[in-house]
Amino acid sequence: MMAHDVTEPRILVLASGAGTNLQSLIDATTARDFPGRIVAVGCNRPQAVALERAALAGIETFTVDHTRYDSREAFDGRLRAEIDRYAPDLVVLAGFMRILTTDFVRAFHGRMLNIHPSLLPKYPGLNTHRRALEAGDRLHGVSIHFVTEDLDGGPVIAQAEVTVQPGDTAESLAERVQQREHVLYPIVVRWFCEGRLQLAGEQVLFDGEPLPQPFYLGE
């Protein structure tokens, strides 16, 4: 493997579960020409498969088990202390299933991304695939956005769509959405590492210009 440039952007990934998005980012960032590297993976669940994926790739890991903290503030304080040890340029939420406090979110303003399995602003929160099916939507998908204090409401950078097929279940839809996630997240993380993406207030800037609407990846 080629040695990484010490000046390239430092990425820290937070995950809670299977870590398939983490895997897509590991695969992308270990490619020779990727302009950033993952310096650590943090998890709130000690048993998360994401931790195994990171360890297999030789990436440092840490766990802050949310069940051991009696308030969101205490949990976030500890999480932030762990993150700060790695001085990341970018924090990537990849299936990190904790609601973060305002102080935490503010500390990473403009340098924290999230992936959400719906075409935001539709279906913030949980059970997005079931809700899209129940609403009879013909189009569903995934969004990547800057994290702000507004839960799943930060400015959207990019979306990829999935056509709902007759007979789809929440599970079959989730699987197809995830396939798109694994393509889209590395692209957006690359843009950030190349310095092409910024957040000015609530406005996404791409190459220094306001992004009029999210990038849209068709099927």
| Site residues (vs ligand GAR, CB under 6 A) | 15, 17-21, 94-95, 115-117, 178, 181
Q: How far is the CB of 76 from ligand GAR (least distance, A)?
A: 17
- Structural element, H or E, at residue 72: helix 72-84
Q: Where are the beta strands (DSSP E) in 17-89?
A: 37-43, 60-63
Nearer to ligand GAR, 44 or 178 (CB): 178
Q: How far is the CB of 206 from ligand GAR (least distance, A)?
A: 22
The CA–CA distances, whole Å, from 131 to 95, 122, 170, 175 equal: 18, 9, 9, 15
Q: How far is the CB of 121 from ligand GAR (least distance, A)?
A: 14
Nearer to ligand GAR, 147 or 197 (CB): 147
109 as an active site residue: the answer is no
For residue 73, give both structure tokens.
């503030």
Nearer to ligand GAR, 187 or 205 (CB): 187
**CA 152 and chain centroid, separation:** 11
Selected catalytic residue, list 116, 129, 140, 145: 116
Residue 92's nearest CA partner among 194, 153, 19, 30 is 19
Task: For residue 105, give the 3-state DSSP assignment.
Answer: helix
Residue nearest to ligand GAR (CB): 95
- Active-site positions? 116
